[in-house]
Amino acid sequence: MWKFIVRRLLITMPQIVLLSILVFIMAQLMPGDALSGLIDPNIDPAAIEEQREKLGLNDPWYVQYTDWVTSALQGDLGQSFRFKMPVSELIGQRLVNTFWLSLLTLIITYLIAIPLGITSGRYNDTLRDQLINGYTYIGFATPLFIFALVMLWAFGYGLGWFPTGGSVEPGLEPGSFAYIMSKVNHLLLPAISMALITTVNTVQYLRSEIIDTKQKDFVLTARAKGASESRVYRRHIFRNSLLPIAAYFGFEITGLIGGTVFIETIFSYPGMGLLFMESVLQRDYSVVTSVVLLFGIASILGALLSDIILSLVDPRIRIK
């Protein structure tokens, strides 16, 4: 088991290094650079060139990359010209909001997906299965940003059940009960909107696993021995069908990254996704490169987590 984890980690490290190189090169192709927005463009060009030389922006790209990585490993991600603060501090503030949004979305996703997937798989080709499949087909066909806009219009502006922007009501004392409830209230609509769409993959995956497991020899043997249908489902089918869902957990995390960009932008929720969109539009060089790098690392670690979980539930895939 530990050999497998070590080998996966050894594969992951070069992936992160390659990702950082690609992010840096793409950032170099963006209009502007780390100096853009930090100084008045109307000042003497000689003074601007002096600052570029001082910051090393005239060095070869590989020298700039080495300096960038060295600073990043020390926690220095540069300065945001739009927010006038260190990027590491800015990301730290936004990352907390995105974490809670992603966590609540995952909880809601599994609370919906597991019962629906089990019901659809156990009673396949019945009316309830057709209704659940209808929901998943609609979910597959509906773009997340369109669905989020409808949810915002209906439950935010129309019915007024949820806030339409922000992460907390202004003026509340941090840590108080009212503050916490306001935080939760601002999280609910974005999390539900994202979960209702992302859950369809898990529902169909679990349904297929249950239908496939029902045909396995060990299930037929259990029935032949006289085991009750409830015992067959509880002890054999459900248990074995849920194992791949655990392995799929890491990829759920990866899928949330793209979802938060749309959801946070639509709901004006101050997280990493909204920060990314704002920084791209404002050409905030340092913030864009840092956020893209963190998103990429999160995707790689999500895949690593899925492999580790799958190796725990299915020893056949472990590398000897």
Q: Helices 2-28 and 285-313 meet at what angle, rounded to 10?
A: 160
In degrees, to the nearest 5, what angle opens at C-alpha 22 toward C-alphas 73 and 288? 65
What is the Cα–Cα distance from 101 to 264, expressed in whole angstroms?
A: 9
Q: Report whether pLDDT(320) > 60.
A: no
Residue 317: which pLDDT band, with cuts at 50, 70 and 90? low
Whose structure tokens read 């349904």? Answer: 207
Predicted TM-score (pTM) of this structure? 0.76
Summarised one tens digit per residue, pLDDT across range 39-85 is 555 665 666 566 666 655 666 667 778 877 887 787 777 777 777 77
Summarised one tens digit per residue, pLDDT across range 183-197 is 888 888 888 888 888
Output the pLDDT for position 43.
64
For 85, the 3-state DSSP assignment is strand
Q: Which residues contact 231 (CB under 8 A, 6 or more apart)?
A: 222
Question: Any idea what DSSP says for residue 163?
Answer: -
Query: Could you tell me the CA-to-CA distances from 159 to 269, 290, 293, 294 in Å, in that order?
Result: 19, 38, 39, 37
The token pair at 166 is: 């922000």
CB-based contact 195:108 (threshold 8 Å): yes
3-state SS, one letter per residue, for 241-307: HHHHHHHHHHHHHHHHHHHHHHHHHHCCCCCHHHHHHHHHHHCCHHHHHHHHHHHHHHHHHHHHHHH
In degrees, to the nearest 5, what angle opens at C-alpha 18 toward C-alphas 279 and 248? 80
Q: Which residues contact 235 (CB under 8 A, 6 or more apart)?
A: 222, 227
Q: Report whether pLDDT(38) > 60.
A: no
Summarised one tens digit per residue, pLDDT across range 219-254 is 778 777 777 777 777 777 777 777 667 666 666 777
Summarised one tens digit per residue, pLDDT across range 118-132 is 888 778 888 888 898
Residue 201: which pLDDT band, with cuts at 50, 70 and 90? confident
Averaged pLDDT score across all residues of the chain: 77
Summarised one tens digit per residue, pLDDT across range 252-298 is 777 777 777 888 888 888 888 788 887 777 777 778 888 888 888 88
Output the pLDDT for position 57.
61
The token pair at 20 is: 């950082």
SS3 content of the chain, % helix, strand, coil (to 5): 75, 0, 25
What are the helix (H) ranges across 74-176? 87-122, 127-141, 144-151
